[in-house]
Amino acid sequence: MEKLPTILLVAGVGCFGLAGVLSGYLPLAHLNRIPMKTVEQIVTEPSYEFIDLSKRYPEQFKKYYGEPTVENFRKALKLGRDTYIGEACWHCHSQYVRPVSNEDIRFGKVSYAEEYQNEMFLPHLFGTRRVGPDLIRESGRHGNDWHVAHFYDSTIVVPSSVMPRYTWFYDGEQPNEKGIAIIAYVQWLGSWATPEAIARQEREEAKNGAGK
Amino acid sequence: MPTEAVPLVDRKVVKYHIIAGFVFFYVSLFAGLLYALQLSRIYPFPGVELLSPGRIRMLHTNGVAYGFLFNLFIAAMHWIIPRLTGKPMLSKAITWFVFWAWQGIVGATAFGLLTGRAQAIEWGETPVWIDPVVVVGAACLIVNSATPILRVAKRKLYVTLWYFSAMMVWLPLTYIMGNFVPQYFVPGAGGAAVTGLFIHDLVGLTVTPLGWGMMYYFVPVILKRPIWSHTLSLVGFWGLAFFYPLNGVHHFFWSPIPMYAQYGAVMSTIAVEIVVFTVVVNFFMTIRGKTDMLRTNIALRWFYTGAVYYFITCFQCAFHTTLTLQKLIHFSDWVPGHAHLVMLGVFGFWLLGMVEYLWPRLVGNTMYSKKLSSAAYWLATGGTFVMFLDLLVAGVAQGYLWMNLAQWEKSLILSAPFWHLRTLAGSAIICGILLYGYNMWMTAKNPGTRPVEEGSESVPDQKTEGAPSAARSGSN
């Protein structure tokens, strides 16, 4: 047990491999039965908030995105996600609602595996710390105006906030490409699981069920 | 045996790694202080893009892990491995290539993080284009330091080398798995299981083996007596190898990762604590009857304080990775409290102890001031423990407020005094490490004025064949 080959093969490769199979590969194989989707598959129309941004900041929007089309919305979502990563938003905000501690009452529907099986969660942004609240059910919780003020200086709308200022998301006081992108992204998070979206899905399922 | 022309230990590279490690240590410490000031709402650079607190936070964690800890661990490997094997590292060229490559990697990481190009893998925020370079650098380090071990592979190895050689397998596997699989192949919950493994393996299969490996070398050398129980050493090593990598999923409890993986992580985490107990007992039995040395030998004091902190943090781990306690403390300040005790209080302290021992031998002077050494120790020890307790209590309070559906802002108002105290505790740590650095500077200033008494630097060990004879040649 003190010999090099034993250490390298059994402890090094063996134990690592065993753990990789048990706590990496098994859950992974299990989850892979849910098909992975691309951004094109999950985002089929521009969101209400994205269109709203184009009306509130027409000059800025025209300059950076042109028209609020679905292609431009996807572009904004990807840039918004990159910004969310680069600014380390995910170190102070989580992106999953747990089935415990009254989190479903505070945030909304408990997270489920399917909603993360797409390109927008590669890599996942679960996060490990909540200085600010969870964001996976953030869609539509606040208006675009609120977000514009909040990213500029969060204490305007939340006096006790410790969130940093993101003044480089703005040209003067108007959101720029990054500003529009991050708001579009945050407003998109959980748009598939708002109470309205869930009610709509249930109605459709009921209709399909009745039609059979 | 090495000829006179090729010294066994490249002292210069050990010294350079220590200096580079301290440079990054200071950068990381001040980055941590800046981030703490943001939470105390007195951030000095609001609205400055390159100094945005979020980016500074990543600089803090990555600087500590890759800049400080790894630089000093590489120094430890360069000092210890040739002494235990009696063979020098493979090549001086590789040694220096690794040194400069590593500083380049950490510097490029800092640049990438501050300009907003982070990768969304916790503890692996290194921008994606640097990841392959890290793998190359690590491969060179491993080839260089595995060679002397391979040359004595027929012998039974001393415990330090078990840890070091296993680490040489684990480090590349861990790094490649964590930085490439969730980034390019596996989204969502499956990716979270893999990043959980990565976060945990980086600490458990890279930092921990390096830390325990160097402890098994330096503690017997300073105490001039062998480790108490060879059997417990074996239990500790094999227990770590078997149970530690199974813990990964415990970073994402109550997430959409399948529950069987979460239950498994609870069980194996509790099993790790039993293993930890054997190692800690082994070290405390080794010092029995010589505890007065803790007053006179400051290196030993760092080592054993770190061991006490290690026991506290691992004991804590057994409780807070239960699904019950996770309901309360997950996402709260409890977790940074725990992380600071592990990374600074345990591995940081061990490395500070190592430098306290090595620095006089590298510059040829005894430490400039024992009082400064002691003051640095007390400031860092006190600061770390206050920060730990402060964040623990803050975490529990935050957890209850969230659970009880208080307005979110209430948890911020409640946290404010805790965050102020954390800033103060952090400042105490920084003062301590500044004193430590000043002491090192003054020690190195006039070389050869207060020569070090060269005692025996071999590991006194009667239980492993091979190690004593190999170690004896270490008095170059």
B residues 159-198 near A, CB within 8 Å? 159, 161-162, 165-166, 168-170, 173-174, 177, 182-197
Q: Count how many domains chain B has.
A: 1
Instruction: Collect all residues of chain B within an 8 Å Cβ-Cβ radius of residue A42.
Output: none
- A195 close to A108: Cβ distance less than 8 angstroms: yes
- pLDDT digit string (tens) for A98-144? 999 999 999 999 999 999 999 999 999 999 999 999 999 999 999 99
Same-domain status, A71 and A166: yes
Instruction: Collect all residues of chain A within an 8 Å Cβ-Cβ radius of residue B402.
Output: 101-103, 106, 130
Same-domain status, A24 and A47: no
- Contact A102/B405, CB-based, under 8 Å? yes
Instruction: Collect all residues of chain A within an 8 Å Cβ-Cβ radius of residue B117.
Output: 86
- pLDDT digit string (tens) for A139-196? 999 999 999 999 999 999 999 999 999 999 999 999 999 999 999 999 999 999 999 9
Q: Can you give the pLDDT at residue A1?
A: 78
Same-domain status, A157 and A97: yes
Instruction: Collect all residues of chain B within an 8 Å Cβ-Cβ radius of residue A28.
Output: 186, 190, 193-194
Q: Is residue B135 part of a domain?
A: yes
A106–chain B Cβ distance below 8 A for any pair: yes
pLDDT interval class at A211 (50, 70, 90): low
- pLDDT digit string (tens) for B165-207? 999 999 999 999 999 999 999 999 999 999 999 999 999 999 9
Nearest Cα to Cα of residue B464 among A3, A11, A10:
A3
Q: Can you give the pLDDT at residue A208?
A: 83
A36–chain B Cβ distance below 8 A for any pair: yes
CB neighbours of B24 closer than 8 A, spacing ≥ 6? Answer: B63, B64, B66, B67, B68, B71, B106
A6 C-beta neighbours (distance < 10 Å), count: 15
Same-domain status, A21 and A83: no
- Contact A28/B403, CB-based, under 8 Å? no
Model confidence at B276: pLDDT above 50: yes
CA distance A161 to chain B (A): 7
Model confidence at B3: pLDDT above 90: no
Same-domain status, A29 and A49: no
Same-domain status, A7 and A55: no
Nearest Cα to Cα of residue A147 among A192, A189, A193, A180:
A180
Nearest Cα to Cα of residue B25 among B370, B380, B369:
B380
CA distance B15 to B72: 9
Strand A174-175 and strand A170-171: the pairing is antiparallel
What are the two backbone dihedrals, phi and then psi, of residue B334, each rounded to the nearest 5 degrees?
-55, -40
Model confidence at B257: pLDDT above 70: yes
Q: What tokens does B344 get?
A: 């600074």
User: Could you report the predicted ipTM of this complex, rounded to two decimals?
Assistant: 0.94
Q: What average pLDDT does chain B have?
A: 92
Q: Is residue B16 part of a domain?
A: yes
Q: Mutate one of A1, A141, A160, A161 to test the B interface: name it (highest B CB count within 10 A).
A: A160
Model confidence at B351: pLDDT above 70: yes
Same-domain status, A98 and A8: no
Q: What tokens does A149 get?
A: 């003020």
User: What number is the average pLDDT over the span B116-125?
Assistant: 94
Q: What tokens does A125 get?
A: 């942004």
Same-domain status, A116 and A16: no
Q: DSSP for B276-337, please give it.
A: HHHHHHHHHHHTTT-TTHHHH-HHHHHHHHHHHHHHHHHHHHHHHTSHHHHHHHTBSTHHHH
CA distance A211 to chain B (A): 33
pLDDT interval class at B210 (50, 70, 90): very high
pLDDT interval class at B433 (50, 70, 90): very high
Model confidence at B452: pLDDT above 90: no
CA distance B138 to B98: 8
Q: Count how many domains chain A has.
A: 2
Tell the residue number behind the tokens 């999923």, with chain if given: B249
Q: Can you give the pLDDT at residue B104?
A: 97
Same-domain status, A24 and A52: no
- B451 close to B367: Cβ distance less than 8 angstroms: no
- Contact A118/B188, CB-based, under 8 Å? yes
Q: Is residue B90 part of a domain?
A: yes
CATH number at residue A170: 1.10.760.10
CB neighbours of B192 closer than 8 A, spacing ≥ 6? Answer: A124, A126, B182, B252, B255, B257
Q: Is residue B289 part of a domain?
A: no
Nearest Cα to Cα of residue A160 among B39, B104, B171, B436:
B39
Give A171's DSSP letter. E
Q: Mutate one of B269, B332, B412, B422 to test the A interface: name it (highest A CB count within 10 A).
A: B412
Using CB atoms, which residue from A16, A30, A32 is nearest to B245? Answer: A16
Residue ranges of alpha helices (H) inside B118-158 are 131-151
Nearest Cα to Cα of residue A21 among B62, B248, B312, B133:
B248
Q: Mutate one of A4, A154, A161 to test the B interface: name it (highest B CB count within 10 A).
A: A4
Same-domain status, A4 and A45: no
Its domain, for residue B105, covers 9-155
CA distance B464 to chain A (A): 9
- Contact A116/B187, CB-based, under 8 Å? yes
Same-domain status, A22 and A119: no
Model confidence at A58: pLDDT above 80: yes
User: What number is the average pLDDT over the span A26-47?
Assistant: 93
Cβ pairs bridging A and B (under 8 Å):
243
- Contact B245/A36, CB-based, under 8 Å? no
CA distance A40 to A42: 6
Nearest Cα to Cα of residue B159 among B293, B312, B337, B279:
B279
Q: What tokens does A78 get?
A: 């990807």
Same-domain status, A8 and A64: no
Indicate the SS3 state at residue A170: strand
Give A140's DSSP letter. T
Its domain, for residue A8, covers 1-33
Contacts for B380-383: CB closer than 8 Å, 24+ residues apart: B380/B344, B380/B349, B380/B352, B380/B428, B380/B429, B380/B432, B380/B433, B380/B436, B381/B305, B381/B349, B382/B425, B382/B428, B383/B425, B383/B426, B383/B427, B383/B428, B383/B429, B383/B432
Q: Can you give the pLDDT at residue B455?
A: 60
Q: Is residue B457 part of a domain?
A: no
Which residue is closest to A158 within chain B, CA to CA? Answer: B409
